[in-house]
């Protein structure tokens, strides 16, 4: 494998960097990296991996771009609103670097597809925002013997680590027990400073570069925490727990994380047969509803706990969102608040 004259111009500053040079750039070109989640963390990671010349980049995301994403997901523009994130990101990234091979996976990672999707790649990057998927990524990576570059954000703080690197500590070694449902809200519930995922994503990209090039100390067995307001950066050490043995994927990671899904479900076709029987509750964000909705009340998930008294209770209630994850949480909130009526989750519409 060599670099074309045009690629040599593209990567000139790497090639003249003594510790990278041609050998290091070829390592980047040969590398295959999969990023799961093309959101706040995924966007800066994708931009820097693409610019640096990582040869093959896979993107897993079945979500669509909404206007509220643009405050921090800087790959996208207003022209991308309503379009799939993975495909939209690739469109822009190809303009940055036409020498990269991209693969898009317009799907939600599940127990059924995780191993097949992750298997062709050397490094897995976790850019997700929910615990069931984080545990799924960890377990699949352990079974496939692949490192995971992890990042997470909350309001003004972020974390970065590398799991399962050279058989090192995994996500379960650091977080053996999932938090209770709704105990750690995501940015759609509590907000996030737009620049934070940019910084944390760049730190994740830096770990990818170190793994590929063999330079520096990889954050294996270390958790870096960063506070935007104080600029405090702390690295905490943790060890591998050899008692944790992962021999197969779990059947239901949502259930394992305490997210119950034993409530009733309804399809859009079933709903349309007898719409007069139900009240609808849309728990998406205002900009999502402005793009498209199927009617009913609108109470964003982050406001629901304080507005339970507003929910219509004269008919059976059908709760809907984009992927089904927020509607699950909404039904649990309504149950916890003692709302006594039949509640059904509308199967994902990918609105």
Q: Which residues are catalytic?
A: 187, 321
Question: Are 308 and 339 spatial neighbours (Cβ–Cβ below 8 Å)?
Answer: yes
Instruction: Compute how many other C-beta atoms are within 10 angstroms of the C-beta atom of residue 146.
Output: 19
Instruction: Compute how many other C-beta atoms are within 10 angstroms of the C-beta atom of residue 120.
Output: 11
> DSSP readout, 224-278?
EEEETTT--EEEEE----TT----S--S-HHHHTT----SEEE-HHHHHHSGGGE
Cα R_g (the chain), whole angstroms: 21
CA distance 184 to 151: 15
Polymer length in residues for the chain: 351
Instruction: Compute how many other C-beta atoms are within 10 angstroms of the C-beta atom of residue 77.
Output: 11
What residues are paired with 7 via a beta bridge? Answer: none
Q: Which of 114, 5, 112 is nearest to 60 (CA)?
A: 114
CA distance 45 to 188: 20
């Amino acid at each position: 494998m060599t670099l074309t004259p045009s690629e040599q111009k593209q990567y000139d500053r790497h090639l003249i960097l003594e510790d990278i040079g041609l050998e290091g750039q070829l390592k980047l070109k040969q590398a295959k990296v999969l990023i799961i989640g093309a959101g706040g963390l995924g966007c800066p990671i994708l931009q820097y991996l693409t610019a640096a010349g990582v040869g093959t980049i896979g993107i897993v995301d079945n979500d669509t771009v909404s206007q509220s994403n643009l405050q921090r997901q800087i790959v996208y523009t207003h022209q991308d609103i309503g379009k799939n994130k993975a495909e939209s990101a690739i469109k822009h990234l190809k303009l940055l670097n036409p020498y990269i091979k991209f693969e898009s996976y317009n799907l939600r990672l599940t127990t059924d597809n995780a191993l097949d999707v992750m298997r062709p790649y050397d490094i897995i990057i976790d850019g997700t925002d929910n615990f069931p998927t984080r545990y799924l990524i960890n377990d699949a990576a352990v079974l496939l013997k692949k490192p995971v570059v992890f990042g997470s954000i909350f309001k003004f703080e972020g974390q970065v680590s590398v799991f399962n690197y050279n058989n090192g500590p995994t996500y379960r070694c650091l977080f053996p027990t999932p938090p209770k449902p709704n105990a750690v809200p995501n940015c759609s519930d509590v907000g996030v400073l737009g620049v934070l995922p940019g910084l944390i994503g760049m730190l994740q990209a830096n770990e990818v570069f170190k793994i590929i090039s063999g330079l520096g100390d990889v954050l294996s067995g270390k958790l870096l925490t960063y506070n935007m307001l104080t600029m405090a950066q702390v690295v905490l050490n943790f060890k591998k727990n050899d008692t944790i043995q992962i021999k197969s994927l779990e059947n239901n990671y949502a259930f394992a994380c305490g997210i119950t899904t034993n409530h009733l479900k309804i399809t859009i076709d079933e709903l349309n047969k007898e719409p007069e029987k139900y009240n609808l509750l849309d728990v998406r964000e205002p900009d999502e509803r402005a793009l498209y909705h199927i009617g009913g009340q609108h109470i964003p998930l982050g406001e629901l706990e304080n507005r339970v008294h507003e929910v219509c209770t004269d008919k059976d209630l059908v709760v809907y969102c984009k992927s089904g994850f927020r509607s699950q949480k909404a039904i649990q909130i309504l149950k916890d608040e003692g709302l006594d009526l039949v509640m059904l989750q509308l199967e994902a519409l990918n609105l």
